[in-house]
Amino acid sequence: MPENSEGGTLRVGIRGWLDNLTVPVALLEQAGLKFHSAHKGCSPEVFKGEGTDMGGRLGLLAVRA
């Protein structure tokens, strides 16, 4: 989990997740998983992070670390 300047855990609401992919990736890593790729929702299409992708759902694929 990301830390704040005082070394404590940084709490981020759901809106923060929408703006910053590092938070859910950090949660995956804390759970013992390794981020593999991001996709457009549940499709096999890779998430590009631009254009219409920015308003849609994001699917994260992780593997056991």
Q: Is 8 a domain residue?
A: no
Query: Would 4 be classed as within a structural domain?
Result: no
Instruction: Answer yes or no: is 51 within a domain.
Output: yes
How many whole angstroms separate alpha carbon 65 and alpha carbon 57?
25
Of all residues in the chain, what percent carry a pLDDT higher than 70? Answer: 66
The predicted model gives 44-57 an average pLDDT of 79
In a domain, 40, yes or no: yes
- Can you give the residue range of the structural domain that contains 57? 14-64
Q: Is there a domain that residue 36 lies in?
A: yes
* pLDDT band, very low/low/confident/very high, at 63 (cuts 50, 70, 90): very high
How many Cβ atoms from other residues are within 10 Å of residue 47's Cβ?
19
* Model confidence pLDDT, tens digit, residues 23-46: 788 888 989 999 999 898 888 998
How many domains is the chain built from? 1
Q: Is residue 7 part of a domain?
A: no
Residue 47 falls within a domain, yes or no? yes
C-alpha 64/C-alpha 52 separation (Å) is: 30
33 within domain boundaries: yes
